[in-house]
């Protein structure tokens, strides 16, 4: 049961960031890997004792050549979990993570022993992306990019242990846990229309603050409105010539012209979510024997979803997810204030509308077809994004009924990001797709090999102004530490699970 990187119980509890600091393992697919199509690769159930379903990797040949070997080990471990249906998946941005691979997707039948696992959600619960439009052009923004980025850096706290500008008591923080971004509307940090453009309208139901430890509350109540560290960022991006692939859908999503400026935010629930994950991972390690659950890796500690422990964790996870929705909303409020001050117009006059906000570390109850029957499944997405197509229009804002759900894919601060749209074809992967480019280099390796100070200067020469908390943090996020985002997106397109709408290029970045 012991994992080679966690040889004893005491250091099983870690974080996604810690996992990403470990060396990326050499590429090497298993000998029994089956190529199902140009973008689907399957590891059969016979590969490893205990597998309940096959494991599938979504990737083109180019990505598969360098796929982290840890992905194959972890996704086949996931395939052994109780109640899993159809397949355990990993997306093309996949790499070794904590429990699940980053890019992992798995769905569990809650009526037939399906489990819930912190390792399948991530410690930064509801780490996610949001994209905000403006009617500004690059010609208007580029001359003031340093002023703008520096002002954003001051307005939005970043870095390890940073505290937010929104001051709430521990009791009021419980309201944030229950209502998420909807709390922000009541307290003046959101436009009412923002809520329509957030996954689940910015609030996961069943949140119960009573299931959250005092220690978690103590870690999180003063972090509202903070970016944090790691790969979190606030980025100013431009739409360049030739990068609008579907003008009709782009316009429906608020991107109407070449040169338009948008803002992307990537962050989550900070230390609050981490502590909740840590607390329940320890609980699950203790209670698994009671439920007769045996797993191949202690990082996959779990409990039946319908057990008291499983329900408690789900209620606590929802609290962290709601905090993350509120966190990104409060940051949006601050961004609007800064843009208004710098450009001398209100945020409404600047057209600073929310395109969408989507989670990529979460478990959600959803309806999916399994063997011809509709079932309620608990879909775990760990470094993976929901991607509802037009067939699920009733679960999307009216503006996106025909287009499918906006999907925000973060690349690196050097190379750029993407706005995609969900498709009905994504139902084959439980309406899921990738969340970003995916690392090829561990954080430690990046720090050793890349000079953050030089990188910052080189990026400025290339037209990208970055204000970072530390040069080491900058080195961790260098472009060459990541896969080619264009190749990842092409894999998703070819697999038919999302389609590219617009490519976005960075011109300014606040780096946590």
- Annotated catalytic residues are 435
310: left (phi over 0), alpha (psi -120 to 50) or beta: alpha
H or E, element range at 380: strand 373-382
Any idea what the Cα angle at residue 184 is, between residues 133 and 199, rounded to 5°? 60
462-495 burial by CB neighbour count: b if 16+ within 10 A, else e?
eebbbbbbebebbbbbbbebbbbbeebbbbbbbb
Task: List Cβ neighbours of 286 (8 Å cut-off, separation of 6 or more).
Answer: none
DSSP string computed for 124-135? STT-EEEEEEEE
Task: List Cβ neighbours of 143 (8 Å cut-off, separation of 6 or more).
Answer: none
Any idea what the Cα angle at residue 185 is, between residues 184 and 188, rounded to 5°? 80
Task: List Cβ neighbours of 31 (8 Å cut-off, separation of 6 or more).
Answer: none
Dist CA 140 CA 259 (whole Å): 10
DSSP string computed for 228-252? BSTT-EEEEEEEEEEEES-HHHHHH
3-state SS, residue 384: strand
3-state SS, residue 313: helix
Residue 371 DSSP label: T
DSSP string computed for 247-288? HHHHHHTT--STTEEEEEEEE--HHHHHHHHHHHHHHHHHHG
Task: List Cβ neighbours of 30 (8 Å cut-off, separation of 6 or more).
Answer: 43, 47, 72
Find residue 95's DSSP bridge partners.
102
Dist CA 503 CA 243 (whole Å): 5
Task: List Cβ neighbours of 52 (8 Å cut-off, separation of 6 or more).
Answer: 45, 79, 80, 81, 82, 84
Nearest alpha carbon to residue 67 among 89, 96, 44, 42: 96
Distances (CA, A) of 78 to 75, 91, 255, 284, 334: 5, 14, 39, 16, 40
Phi and psi at residue 283, in whole multiples of 5°? -60, -45
Q: Beta strands 384-386 and 432-434: pairing type?
A: antiparallel
Task: List Cβ neighbours of 398 (8 Å cut-off, separation of 6 or more).
Answer: none
């Amino acid at each position: 049961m012991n994992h080679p990187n966690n040889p004893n119980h005491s250091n099983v509890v870690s974080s996604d960031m810690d996992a990403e600091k470990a060396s990326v393992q050499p590429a090497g697919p298993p000998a029994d890997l089956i190529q199902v199509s140009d973008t689907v690769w399957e590891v059969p159930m016979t590969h490893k004792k205990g597998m309940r379903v096959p494991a599938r990797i979504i990737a083109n040949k180019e990505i598969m050549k360098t796929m982290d070997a840890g992905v194959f080990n972890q996704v086949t471990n996931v395939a052994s979990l109780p109640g899993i249906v159809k397949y355990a998946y990993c997306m093309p941005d996949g790499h070794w993570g904590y429990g699940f691979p980053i890019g992992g997707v798995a769905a569990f039948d809650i009526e037939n022993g399906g489990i819930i696992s912190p390792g399948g959600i991530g410690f930064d619960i509801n780490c996610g992306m949001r994209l905000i439009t403006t009617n500004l052009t690059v010609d208007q923004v580029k001359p003031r990019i340093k002023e703008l980025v520096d002002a954003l850096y001051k307005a939005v706290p970043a870095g390890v242990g940073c505290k937010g500008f929104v001051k709430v008591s521990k009791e009021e923080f419980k309201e944030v846990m229950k209502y998420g971004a909807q709390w922000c509307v009541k307290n003046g940090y959101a436009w009412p229309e923002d809520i329509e453009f957030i996954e689940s309208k910015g609030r996961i139901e069943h949140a119960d603050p009573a299931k959250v430890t005092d220690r978690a509350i103590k870690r999180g109540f003063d972090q509202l409105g903070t970016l944090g560290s790691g790969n979190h960022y606030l980025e100013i991006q431009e739409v360049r010539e030739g990068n609008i692939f579907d003008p009709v859908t782009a316009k429906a999503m608020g991107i109407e012209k070449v040169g338009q400026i948008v803002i992307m935010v990537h962050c989550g629930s900070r230390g609050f979510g981490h502590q909740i994950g840590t607390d329940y991972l320890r609980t699950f390690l203790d209670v698994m024997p009671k439920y007769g659950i045996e797993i191949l890796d202690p990082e996959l500690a779990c409990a039946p979803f319908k057990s008291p422990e499983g329900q408690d964790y789900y209620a606590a996870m929802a609290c962290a997810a709601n905090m993350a929705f509120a966190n990104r909303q409060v940051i949006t409020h601050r961004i609007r204030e800064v843009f208004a001050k710098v450009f001398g117009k209100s945020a409404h006059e600047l057209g600073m509308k929310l395109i969408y906000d989507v989670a990529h570390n979460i478990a959600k109850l959803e309806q999916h077809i399994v063997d011809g029957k509709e079932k309620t499944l608990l879909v775990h997405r760990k470094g993976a994004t929901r991607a509802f197509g037009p067939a699920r229009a009733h679960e999307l804002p009216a503006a996106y009924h025909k287009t499918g759900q906006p999907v925000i894919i973060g690349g690196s601060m050097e190379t750029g990001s993407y706005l995609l749209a969900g498709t009905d074809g994504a139902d084959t992967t439980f309406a899921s797709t990738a969340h970003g480019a995916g690392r090829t280099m561990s954080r430690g390796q990046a720090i050793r090999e890349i000079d953050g100070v030089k990188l910052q200067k080189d990026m400025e020469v290339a037209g990208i102004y970055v204000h970072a908390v530390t040069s080491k943090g900058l080195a961790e996020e260098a472009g060459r530490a990541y896969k080619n985002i264009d190749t990842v997106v092409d894999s998703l397109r070819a697999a038919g699970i999302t389609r590219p709408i617009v490519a976005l290029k960075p011109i300014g970045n606040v780096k946590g």
